[in-house]
Amino acid sequence: MQNIYSLLKTAREILTNAGAPDAKACAEILLSLALNVKRSKLALIRDSIVSARETDIFNGYISRRLNREPCAYIAGSCEFMGYEFKVNKNVLIPRPETELLTEEVLKLKINARRPSALDLCSGSGCIAVSLSKLGDFEEITALDISAKALEIAKENARLNRAENINFIESDMFSGLGEKKFDIIVSNPPYVSEEEYEILEPELKFEPAEALKAPQDGLFFYKLTAQRARFHLNVPGFIFLELNANKSALIKNIFQENGFQNIEIIKDYAGLDRILKAQI
């Protein structure tokens, strides 16, 4: 039997040699899961012997990771904006770029009143829940076409005690009636068929319908630009995560549909990642 330090070292080397990203972090996350201890505690108990049963469980997790299954799906959860979110194959795994999108929404002040917000294509609910916990919103609506995704979003709202969120199963704007909001925020599907074919293996585990979009990846941007005005109060704001390769095209789409004060915000890598606009 091995101790914690030895198991982590071996797993990290195996994952690194296999080309799996974030080998160290993933090995620690999966071992803490197998041992049912907090990841932060591993360094304190590094000399502890791991039982044969726990080793088998951990090795099973590592085998799944070697198959390039995302670490978050194996663990069943991930962190976003300082909160823990459940994830499974029915929802995208929240990413740092989407944290930046959420932070930009939280910066917005609308005439000192409590705004309403629509989280379009909500998925795991990470944006809606984070806005509920960290912002001062009168009401938040989380909308998704997937009933299975909404179940995860509802569970994440319960786990994080986010109480001012309404959940709507709808194909984009079709189920909203005449309802209007002060803010619309969305991380829509934006990967083209060609781009999807060359994505890293981990992304092929995530729901394709939450990644891929017709019309060279622009379909949901075009639909949002055409329909959002009917669901925004005046003044109303929209925040969208961008396909960085097509930010200029997307900006033009919103300009042509009457949006003003359009701003493109870069992510941590210096790529065009967020569109902010006003109606």
Per-residue pLDDT averaged across 30-36, rounded?
96
pLDDT at 112: 59
Amino acid at 254: F
Same domain, 97 and 63: no
Same domain, 94 and 25: no
Tell me, yes or no, whether 79 lies in a domain.
no
Structural domains in the chain (count): 2
3-state secondary structure of 104: helix
- Would you tell me how many other CB atoms lie within 10 Å of the CB of residue 37? 15
Tell me, yes or no, whether 75 lies in a domain.
no
pLDDT at 227: 97
How far apart CA 33 and CA 61 sit, in angstroms, is: 9
The enclosing domain of 249 has a CATH number of 3.40.50.150
Same domain, 223 and 125: yes
- The answer to whether the pTM exceeds 0.75 is yes
pLDDT at 200: 95
Tell me, yes or no, whether 193 lies in a domain.
yes
Per-residue pLDDT averaged across 146-161, rounded?
98
What distance, in Å, lies between the first and last C-alpha atoms of the chain? 63
Q: Whole domain around residue 203: which residue ranges?
A: 89-278
Tell me, yes or no, whether 84 lies in a domain.
no
Same domain, 191 and 261: yes
Span 251-268, pLDDT tens digits: 999 999 999 999 999 999
Tell me, yes or no, whether 73 lies in a domain.
no
How far apart CA 231 and CA 64 sit, in angstroms, is: 43
Tell me, yes or no, whether 161 lies in a domain.
yes
Per-residue pLDDT averaged across 16-39, rounded?
96
Same domain, 24 and 125: no
Same domain, 181 and 63: no
Tell me, yes or no, whether 223 lies in a domain.
yes
Same domain, 63 and 119: no
pLDDT at 277: 98
* CA angle 24–26–27, rounded 5-degree value: 65
Beta strand 232-241 with 181-186: parallel, antiparallel or unpaired?
Answer: parallel
Span 64-87, pLDDT tens digits: 999 999 999 999 999 999 999 999
Same domain, 111 and 246: yes
Same domain, 62 and 100: no
Span 98-133, pLDDT tens digits: 999 999 999 998 775 799 999 999 999 999 999 999
Per-residue pLDDT averaged across 176-202, rounded?
96
Span 162-186, pLDDT tens digits: 999 999 999 999 999 999 999 999 9
Tell me, yes or no, whether 76 lies in a domain.
no
Same domain, 59 and 116: no
Same domain, 119 and 46: no
CA distances, 150 to each of 156, 167, 269 (Å): 10, 7, 31
Residue percentage of the chain with pLDDT more than 70: 100
Q: Which two tokens stand for residue 115?
A: 């705004």
Confidence of residue 214 (pLDDT cuts 50, 70, 90): very high
Same domain, 56 and 128: no
